[in-house]
Chains A and B, each alone.
Chain A
Amino acid sequence: MGSSIEESILALCRQHPEGLPEAVLGQHIPASQRTTAMNNLLAKHRLKILQHPKDNSLVYQEVIQEDAAKLKGLSAEDLLVYQYISQAGNNGIWTKDLKNKTNLQQPQITKILKNLDQRSLVKSVKGVINPSRKVYMLFELEPARELTGGAWYTNQDFDAEFIQVLQQACQKYIDNEGVATLEEVADFVRTRGFSRVELRDEDVLCILRTLEFDGLVESFVSDDGEVYRPAKHRVPKNSPLTSIPCGVCPVINECTEEGVISPSTCTYYQAWLEF
Chain B
Amino acid sequence: MVHCSPQRRRLCAILIKEFFGETVERVCNVLTLRGQQTLPEVVRASKLPPAAAPYFLYHADTGAIISILRRPRILQHVQREFGGPGDSDLVVKIIEVLLAHGRLRLDQVVAAVAARLGRPEGEVRGDMHARFVSLINSRYIERVPPADMPLRKPAAHTKTQERKAAPKAGSQEKALQEAEAVRQLSWDSYSAERFSLPPDLLAAAPEATRDPRVAKQAGRAKRKREDAGNGSQGATAQVLWRVNLEECNCRLRDESCVEHVTEIYGREPGAVVAALLRCAARQPGGSRLDSGASAAVSASASAAALMQMRRSRPELPSLTAAAVSRLLSELAKDEKSGVAPGAALEAFTVDTGAICWAMRQKHIEALVRERFPPIGMRVFRLLRVKKQLEQKQVADYAMVPVRDARELLYRMLRGGFLTLQDVPRTADHAASRTFYTWRVDEAAVVRRVGEELLQAASNLRARLHHELDESDEVLKRVEADNSALQPRDKAVVDRVYRVSALLDTRVIALDPLIALFHQN
Query: Given A235-B362, A239-B367, A242-B370, are A152 and B459 neighbors across the interface (CB < 8 Å)?
Result: no
Query: Given A215-B365, A235-B362, A235-B377, are A255 and B459 neighbors across the interface (CB < 8 Å)?
Result: yes
Of the candidates A158, A247, A252, A264, which one forms a contact with B401 in the assembled complex, judged by CB atoms under 8 Å apart?
A158
- The 0/1 profile, CB within 8 Å of B marked 1, for residues 222-239 of chain A is 000000000011011111
CA distance A210 to B381 in the complex (A): 10
- Minimum CB distance partner of B470 in chain A: A264
CA distance A239 to B367 in the complex (A): 8
Contact A247 B399 (CB under 8 A): no
- The 0/1 profile, CB within 8 Å of A marked 1, for residues 455-483 of chain B is 11011101100110000000000000000
Q: Which 8 A-B residue pairings sit nearest by Cβ, starting from the closest?
A: A246-B456, A263-B459, A264-B466, A240-B509, A242-B370, A213-B378, A263-B462, A158-B401
- Minimum CB distance partner of B6 in chain A: A256
Of the candidates A233, A250, A257, which one forms a contact with B462 in the assembled complex, judged by CB atoms under 8 Å apart?
A257
- Minimum CB distance partner of A262 in chain B: B462
| Interface-central residue, B366, B369, B370, B371, by most chain A CB under 10 Å | B366
| Interface-central residue, A213, A233, A269, by most chain B CB under 10 Å | A213
Contact B513 A240 (CB under 8 A): yes
Query: Given A242-B366, A248-B371, are A163 and B378 neighbors across the interface (CB < 8 Å)?
Result: no
CA distance A240 to B256 in the complex (A): 14
Give chain A residues whose Cβ lies under 8 Å from the Cβ of B449: 241
Contact A239 B381 (CB under 8 A): no
Q: Does A273 contact B (CB under 8 A)?
A: yes
Give chain A residues whose Cβ lies under 8 Å from the Cβ of B378: 210, 213-214
4 additional A-B pairs beyond A263-B466, A266-B463, beta carbons within 8 Å, are: A152-B399, A232-B336, A242-B370, A247-B456
Contact B463 A241 (CB under 8 A): no
CA distance A236 to B458 in the complex (A): 24
Contact B401 A160 (CB under 8 A): yes
Give chain A residues whose Cβ lies under 8 Å from the Cβ of B264: 232-233
- Minimum CB distance partner of A218 in chain B: B336
Give chain A residues whose Cβ lies under 8 Å from the Cβ of B363: 236, 239, 241
Query: Given A214-B378, A240-B513, A244-B460, are A255 and B455 neighbors across the interface (CB < 8 Å)?
Result: yes
| Interface-central residue, A238, A247, A250, by most chain B CB under 10 Å | A247
- Identify the A interface with B (CB < 8 A): 152, 158, 160, 163, 206-207, 209-210, 213-215, 232-233, 235-244, 246-248, 250, 252, 255, 257, 262-264, 266, 269, 273
- Minimum CB distance partner of B499 in chain A: A273
CA distance A247 to B367 in the complex (A): 7
Give chain B residues whose Cβ lies under 8 Å from the Cβ of A262: 462
CA distance A132 to B379 in the complex (A): 28
Contact B398 A213 (CB under 8 A): yes
Give chain A residues whose Cβ lies under 8 Å from the Cβ of B323: none
Query: Given A158-B401, A232-B264, A263-B463, are A242 and B367 neighbors across the interface (CB < 8 Å)?
Result: yes
Q: Does B358 contact A (CB under 8 A)?
A: yes
Give chain B residues whose Cβ lies under 8 Å from the Cβ of A240: 506, 509-510, 512-513
Contact B397 A241 (CB under 8 A): no
Contact A209 B397 (CB under 8 A): yes
Q: Does B95 contact A (CB under 8 A)?
A: no
- Minimum CB distance partner of A257 in chain B: B462
Contact A210 B401 (CB under 8 A): no
Q: Does B382 contact A (CB under 8 A)?
A: yes
Which residues of B from 254 to 292 have beta carbons under 8 Å from A?
A: 264-265
Which residues of B from 505 to 520 have beta carbons under 8 Å from A?
A: 506, 509-510, 512-513
Q: Does B400 contact A (CB under 8 A)?
A: yes
Q: Does B97 contact A (CB under 8 A)?
A: no
Q: Does B73 contact A (CB under 8 A)?
A: no
Which residues of B from 396 to 437 have beta carbons under 8 Å from A?
A: 397-401
Give chain B residues whose Cβ lies under 8 Å from the Cβ of A257: 10, 462
- Identify the B interface with A (CB < 8 A): 10, 264-265, 336, 358, 362-363, 365-367, 369-371, 377-379, 381-382, 385, 397-401, 449, 452-453, 455-456, 458-460, 462-463, 466-467, 499, 502-503, 506, 509-510, 512-513
Query: Given A233-B362, A236-B362, are A241 and B367 neighbors across the interface (CB < 8 Å)?
Result: yes
- Minimum CB distance partner of A236 in chain B: B366
Chain A nearest CB: distance from B185 CB in Å?
A: 42
Contact A244 B456 (CB under 8 A): yes
Give chain A residues whose Cβ lies under 8 Å from the Cβ of B362: 233, 235-236
User: Can you spell out 6 A-B residue pairs with CB atoms less than 8 angstroms apart?
Assistant: A213-B381, A214-B381, A215-B381, A236-B362, A240-B506, A246-B459
Contact A235 B456 (CB under 8 A): no
Give chain A residues whose Cβ lies under 8 Å from the Cβ of B358: 233
Give chain A residues whose Cβ lies under 8 Å from the Cβ of B460: 244, 246, 263
Give chain B residues whose Cβ lies under 8 Å from the Cβ of A273: 463, 467, 499, 502-503
Contact B377 A215 (CB under 8 A): yes
Give chain B residues whose Cβ lies under 8 Å from the Cβ of A243: 506, 509
CA distance A209 to B452 in the complex (A): 31
Give chain B residues whose Cβ lies under 8 Å from the Cβ of A210: 378, 398-399
Give chain A residues whose Cβ lies under 8 Å from the Cβ of B467: 273
- Minimum CB distance partner of B358 in chain A: A233
Chain B nearest CB: distance from A93 CB in Å?
A: 23
Chain A nearest CB: distance from B483 CB in Å?
A: 28
CA distance A266 to B362 in the complex (A): 28
Query: Given A158-B401, A246-B455, are A235 and B365 neighbors across the interface (CB < 8 Å)?
Result: yes
Give chain A residues whose Cβ lies under 8 Å from the Cβ of B381: 213-215
- Minimum CB distance partner of B392 in chain A: A129
Chain A nearest CB: distance from B504 CB in Å?
A: 12
Contact B455 A252 (CB under 8 A): yes
Chain B nearest CB: distance from A240 CB in Å?
A: 4
CA distance A237 to B374 in the complex (A): 12
CA distance A214 to B381 in the complex (A): 8
Give chain B residues whose Cβ lies under 8 Å from the Cβ of A242: 366-367, 370
Of the candidates A207, A235, A269, which one forms a contact with B463 in the assembled complex, judged by CB atoms under 8 Å apart?
A269
Chain A nearest CB: distance from B190 CB in Å?
A: 36
Contact A264 B462 (CB under 8 A): yes
| Interface-central residue, A206, A241, A250, by most chain B CB under 10 Å | A241
- Minimum CB distance partner of B386 in chain A: A213
Give chain A residues whose Cβ lies under 8 Å from the Cβ of B466: 263-264
Chain A nearest CB: distance from B370 CB in Å?
A: 4
Contact B366 A244 (CB under 8 A): no
Chain B nearest CB: distance from A89 CB in Å?
A: 24
Chain B nearest CB: distance from A213 CB in Å?
A: 4
CA distance A213 to B368 in the complex (A): 13
Give chain A residues whose Cβ lies under 8 Å from the Cβ of B512: 240
Of the candidates A209, A235, A255, A264, which one forms a contact with B369 in the assembled complex, judged by CB atoms under 8 Å apart?
A235
Give chain A residues whose Cβ lies under 8 Å from the Cβ of B336: 232-233
Query: Given A235-B365, A248-B371, are A163 and B456 neighbors across the interface (CB < 8 Å)?
Result: no
Chain B nearest CB: distance from A238 CB in Å?
A: 7
